[in-house]
Amino acid sequence: MSNNLFDSTTDFLGVFDGISAQDAEVWARARSFREDCLPVINGHWEKSEYPLELVRRLGELDLMTDGLDVPGHESMTARGAGLALMEVTRADASMGTVVAVQAGLAMRSIAMLGSEEQRSRYLPAMASCSLLGAFGLTEPLHGSDSIALETTAVRDGDSWVLNGEKKWIGNGASGGVTVIYARMEDGNVGGFIVPQDAPGYSATVIAGKLSLRAIHQAHIVLEDCRIPASNRLPGCQTFKDVSRVLTATRIGVSWMALGSAVACYETARNYVMERVQFGRELAKAQIIQQRLANMVLDLNQMMLTCREVAAREEAGTLTPPQASAAKLHNTRAARRIASDARDMLGGVGILLENDIARHFADIEAMHTYEGTDTVQSLIMGKVITGFSAYK
């Protein structure tokens, strides 16, 4: 018996037919999150509210580890973690972004670059969501050019003093801790665990978003923010160390794009099976069947991409440009599927109650964060040609 939880028309090629019982259990646990999320998420999204009760539920379901080894929490394979992130995002991309920020970025920074004491102190609490975490890399003047950090960290006795600004930081104003990346006096990049109630740390929630409205992102200002020397991540010595964290999260965005795309396709398919126009079901129209077939082709290419990068991640052979290719391909495909699905529902496609409009808007952010379409293309282009189009 197959452990694949996708409908056979969704996973047309049976890409996930052979998954293990362990991966299927994680996937099923993530799917159960829909019962908590779907009845309320449109209201939160419309009001731009951050539903922390849903975040805590993710912790209760033990879905906040993203494949990291956290004592007291169930381990996941790379594929199991991807399927879980895909399924959470299938319910809602803001909640998928919570997992990507909390586990994929903040927890992964501490797990990969932190000391044993830091891992023991922070990771279990973050995995249970009793402690929220943020990842402070992007700056107001440096989005894609993230290596050009202007935030500074100066050693002063038993402390580090941080000055600068960060922008678009998920969980950055929600209480908890923020992993801040800053330029040290020797010119290298350091990582620092900063409590959000530390003196000199101030953050405001960014208003007016048209995407990912059910998670708060912050504009952070650091003014002589002093933290203990022990809060520095000892494994972060250069920007290359930060890049290792980002490579893993780009894979996560590939899975997230798949989740939103599946939600859009399945909603559109169900709609045309029931909607009657000109005396017959829309599903009997040739153009509708062709569009559904095109969507399934994109979906299965996305699935194959996710399966391959997960296998390479498990084997330790995945390269950063391959992660870029996966993110680039899947967010582009998700955009196509969402656009077609929205159009196939006609006027009701813009209503939140049908979910597609929310995914349609959220995919736009997904397409941009963790490296824009252009940046991912240039990373691939450098490998293809041997020439760098950026410095």
The 3-state secondary structure of 77-144 reads: CHHHHHHHHHHHHHHCHHHHHHHHHHHHHHHHHHHHHCCHHHHHHHHHHHHCCCCCEEEECCECCECC
**Per-residue model confidence (pLDDT) at position 1:** 60
**Token pair of 159, please?**
């402390």
Q: What string of pLDDT tens digits covers the 391 residues of the chain?
A: 679 999 999 999 999 999 999 999 999 999 999 999 999 999 999 999 999 999 999 999 999 999 999 999 998 999 999 999 999 999 999 999 999 999 999 999 999 999 999 999 999 999 999 999 999 999 998 766 667 789 999 999 999 999 999 999 999 999 999 999 999 999 999 999 999 999 999 999 999 999 999 999 999 999 999 999 999 999 999 989 998 898 888 899 999 999 999 999 999 999 999 998 888 899 999 999 999 999 999 999 999 999 999 999 999 999 999 999 999 999 999 999 999 999 999 999 999 999 999 999 999 999 988 888 898 999 999 999 999 887 6
**Per-residue model confidence (pLDDT) at position 143:** 64
Question: Are 245 and 113 contacting, i.e. CB atoms less than 8 angstroms apart?
Answer: yes
Which residues is 177 bridged to in the sheet?
133, 195
**Per-residue model confidence (pLDDT) at position 148:** 77
For residue 335, the Cα-to-chain-centroid distance in whole angstroms is 16
- Residue located via tokens 């780009």: 250
Residues whose CB is less than 8 angstroms from the CB of residue 145 and which lie 6 or more positions away in sequence, other chains included? none
In angstroms, the CA 183 to CA 147 distance is 10
